[in-house]
Structure 1
Amino acid sequence: MAGDSGKPDAGLSVGPGAASYAAMVARAKALIPELRNRASRTEELRRLPPETERDLHDAGLFRIVQPRRVGGAELDYVALVDCADALGQADASVAWNFANLASHHWMLGMFDRQAQDAVWGRDADALIASSFIFPAGRAKRVDRGYVLRGHWPFSSGVESCDWNMLAGVVATDDEADGIEYRLFLLNRSEYRINDTWNATGLCGTGSNDVWVEDSFVAENMTIAISDLTGGPTPGSAVNPNALYALPVFSLFPYVLSGVGLGNAQACLDDYVELARRRASTYNRAKLSDLQTTQIKIAEASAKIDAARLVMRTNCIEAMADARRGYIPDLAGKTRLRRDGAFSVNLCTEAVSLLFAASGARSLFTSGALQRQFRDAHAVNSHLAFNFDAAGTNYGRVALGLPSENLTL
């Protein structure tokens, strides 16, 4: 598939356990042919087929950043990029749900041990959905916990999950107390799923809506966003790996950025393969002999390689910082968000360039190209990849103004 730049260890170390790390990425790559064959069915179902979920479970992929103490692989954070990159070369919807659901094992590792035990004590393979749209939920503090209510969109893979992490704002009687952002961990019995996911891209992610009506959430089943900004977390007492001391929302784009990367890589690989053997419809000239074809391949591949380098470098350096106890300052955190958005934008530009270069062939619904184009733009529509938002906040902080992102 990808060239040397696509290798998960290309140019940068992934730290301890390199052999097991490489084996996990190899498992993801081994699924590519079958997942590509299922892509149309995945779109028709509007969620992952049961056999795809089983394949991901059997390969151990959902548990790549889960604590080792409960049987997880506890790989470095960059595993989310590398494995999503591999799976995205098959089907972006599969990669999207994999990365989302796998990352929630990582985040649960930062919660109080009682929350971890409530989930993993029942089933260490249990999947956890999420919606991190804070204004969608309102919580009121009560004795020993909170009462939560709200309506959250975009809870990817929610039908497959037994639990959900929902973001909310804690209301107080005195607004002068300031705003508190928290995450609330709820069992499936405590929320309602509305089937709303009819989308033009990432069609197979089942990113439906979730409703909660005045549900009590115990204190130990929540975590303050202020505990996730870097450094030891409530979960560090039982999960001392630096993985569980990373600044969560500063690195949030890299949970999903590998999806756009793998999708773009597949689009490029498909285009190159076609250009090698196809002739122009109009003059029968070989596409591979045309300078325009050669230039477009060079431009798209440069964008993809640059994106991969940015994503992997930032994740690996973040792990190195966490291991030495260093927490990035606000300027460093906004740079991570800027780079996360910019790198995915590069991938989207590469796919758009190749789509346009493909001419009328790109219009056929029977091929992968139209899905890759739709998925690229669906990935790019996520707020984490909105460069206007990330760039504005980076510029504000660089100019000495307050950050507009309160989760950093």
Structure 2
Amino acid sequence: MAGGGGKPGAGSSAGPGTDSYAAMVERAKGLIPELRDRAPRTEELRRLPPETERALHESGLFRIVQPRRVGGSELDYVALVDCADALGQADASVAWNFANLASHHWMLGMFDRHAQDAVWNANADALIASSFIFPAGRARKADGGYVLRGHWPFSSGVESCEWNMLAGVVSSDDEADGIEYRIFLLNRSDYRINDTWNATGLCGTGSNDVWVEDTFVAEKMTVSVSELTGGPTPGSEVNPNALYALPVFSLFPYVLSGVGLGNAQACLNDYVEFARHRASTYNRAKVSDLQTTQIKIAEASAKIDAARLVMRTNCIEAMDDARRGRVPDLAGKTKLRRDGAFSVNLCTEAVSLLFAASGARSLFTSGALQRQFRDAHAVNSHLAFNFDAAGTNYGRVALDLPSENLTL
């Protein structure tokens, strides 16, 4: 896995330059052969196979950004990119669920300790799903908490999870109070799962719908988005590492950007291997001797390398800023969102380029290329990677207009 390095800042013991960090990335790489072989079955099941889920647990990968005080690795944030990059070179669906579910241990570390204890005291390995589509949920204030209802799509890996973080809008009878964006942590007994995930890409993620009907959620089992914009959070008292002081939704794209990166890298690796050993079907010319082949490899690899550099640099710099107590201003936050979308778009462009260059062989369902193409475009369809949205908001802020992203 190529890409930028960077030493961890002061006070870090699990950053990109440490042995423990490198060991965890190597564990992810070590899973590539078996996960790649299992990819067709993962698509058929439409969720992670039990043996894949077990391997991710046994490797410790689900817990890479979980607080050390409960047995997690507490690695730097860029670990999500690097490990998803490795797993994505095997199967984007596995990498997607890994990154999603691992990141929720990081987010839970920012909740009130009561919420952390409710989950981790019972089972430190418990998996937590999510759906951060705020308009999908509506909540009203009640004595000691909130009453929540809603219907959320795209809750990836939800069948494997004991808990779920669901986003909602809190409204008040007093119009002067306005509305509030808040995240609610619910046990599986408090929501219903609808099996709706029949998709053309990321088929194995089991990103099903979740329903909640007027369920009470205690105040301490929730967190306001305004508490996750950078700096101390409700969880800082027990989790003082700078990892838990990062601006959550500014860095949101990088939870999943490594998936698109690894998928594109796998596509490039496969194409190079094909080109080295094949001859044209029609004139038997060596594919490797064709100038067009050489140019396509150069262009795709440049896009992938540039994407990796952008992703990793932004995550490493964000950690360095957090260690120094610095929170990016609105312009900096919109830049993070812009770069997250742009870098994944580069990966999608690289896959599309290689798919087109592969000719008729790309059409066979028995090969990995068609899955890599479908998965690349499925990753790119996530709102976090919509460059029109991220670019518009970046441009608005650059022009001194109000931001349209209410989570930053």
Shorter-chain TM-score tier: over 0.9
Q: For the residues of structure 1 that align with 2:175 and 2:397, how far apart are their CA atoms?
A: 25
Aligned to 1:47: 47
Q: For the residues of structure 2 that align with 1:131 and 1:291, how far apart are their CA atoms?
A: 46
So what's the TM-score if we normalise by structure 1? 0.98
Map Cα deviations across residues 74-126 of structure 1 (whole Å, 9 max, x no partner).
Answer: 00000000000000000000000000000000000000000000000000000
Q: For the residues of structure 1 that align with 2:8 and 2:258, how far apart are their CA atoms?
A: 16
Verify: 1:11 aligned to 2:12, yes or no. Answer: no
- Work out whether residues 157 and 206 of structure 1, in 8 Å CA contact, stay in contact via their aligned partners in 2: yes
Verify: 1:190 aligned to 2:184, yes or no. Answer: no
Amino acid at match of 2:122: R
- Work out whether residues 193 and 210 of structure 2, in 8 Å CA contact, stay in contact via their aligned partners in 1: yes
Q: For the residues of structure 1 that align with 2:5 and 2:129, how far apart are their CA atoms?
A: 33
Aligned to 1:38: 38
Aligned to 1:393: 393
Map Cα deviations across residues 251-294 of structure 1 (whole Å, 9 max, x no partner).
Answer: 00000000000000000000000000000111101010000000
Q: For the residues of structure 2 that align with 1:117 and 1:278, how far apart are their CA atoms?
A: 57
CA 55–14 in structure 1, closer or farther in 2 if over 3 Å, else same: farther
Q: For the residues of structure 2 that align with 1:199 and 1:97, how far apart are their CA atoms?
A: 15
Aligned to 2:214: 214
- Work out whether residues 14 and 78 of structure 1, in 8 Å CA contact, stay in contact via their aligned partners in 2: no
Map Cα deviations across residues 47-89 of structure 1 (whole Å, 9 max, x no partner).
Answer: 0000000000000000000000000000000000000000000
Aligned to 1:61: 61
- Work out whether residues 171 and 178 of structure 2, in 8 Å CA contact, stay in contact via their aligned partners in 1: no
Amino acid at match of 2:202: L
Q: Which consecutive unaligned segments of at least 5 residues does structure 1 have?
A: none
Q: Secondary structure at the match of 1:169?
A: strand
* Identical pairs, percent: 88
Q: For the residues of structure 1 that align with 2:336 and 2:175, how far apart are their CA atoms?
A: 31
Verify: 1:311 aligned to 2:311, yes or no. Answer: yes
Aligned to 1:148: 148
Q: Secondary structure at the match of 1:366?
A: coil
**How far off its partner does 1:14 sit?**
4.4
Amino acid at match of 1:76: D
CA 69–11 in structure 1, closer or farther in 2 if over 3 Å, else same: closer
| Aligned residues between the structures | 402
Amino acid at match of 2:256: L
Aligned to 1:367: 367
**How far off its partner does 1:171 sit?**
1.1
Amino acid at match of 1:401: L
Q: Secondary structure at the match of 2:235?
A: helix
Aligned to 2:257: 257
Aligned to 1:248: 248
Q: Secondary structure at the match of 1:27?
A: helix
- Work out whether residues 153 and 207 of structure 2, in 8 Å CA contact, stay in contact via their aligned partners in 1: yes
Aligned to 1:179: 179
**How far off its partner does 1:11 sit?**
3.4
Aligned to 1:376: 376
4+ runs deviating over 4 angstroms: none
Q: For the residues of structure 2 that align with 1:385 and 1:291, how far apart are their CA atoms?
A: 32
Q: Secondary structure at the match of 1:38?
A: helix
Aligned to 1:84: 84
Aligned to 1:26: 26
- Work out whether residues 340 and 385 of structure 1, in 8 Å CA contact, stay in contact via their aligned partners in 2: yes
Q: For the residues of structure 1 that align with 2:121 and 2:8, how far apart are their CA atoms?
A: 30
Q: For the residues of structure 2 that align with 1:13 and 1:346, how far apart are their CA atoms?
A: 26
Q: For the residues of structure 2 that align with 1:221 and 1:166, how far apart are their CA atoms?
A: 11
Q: CA RMSD in A?
A: 0.7
**How far off its partner does 1:175 sit?**
2.8
Amino acid at match of 1:327: V
Q: For the residues of structure 2 that align with 1:278 and 1:140, how far apart are their CA atoms?
A: 63
- Work out whether residues 8 and 320 of structure 2, in 8 Å CA contact, stay in contact via their aligned partners in 1: no
**How far off its partner does 1:176 sit?**
3.1
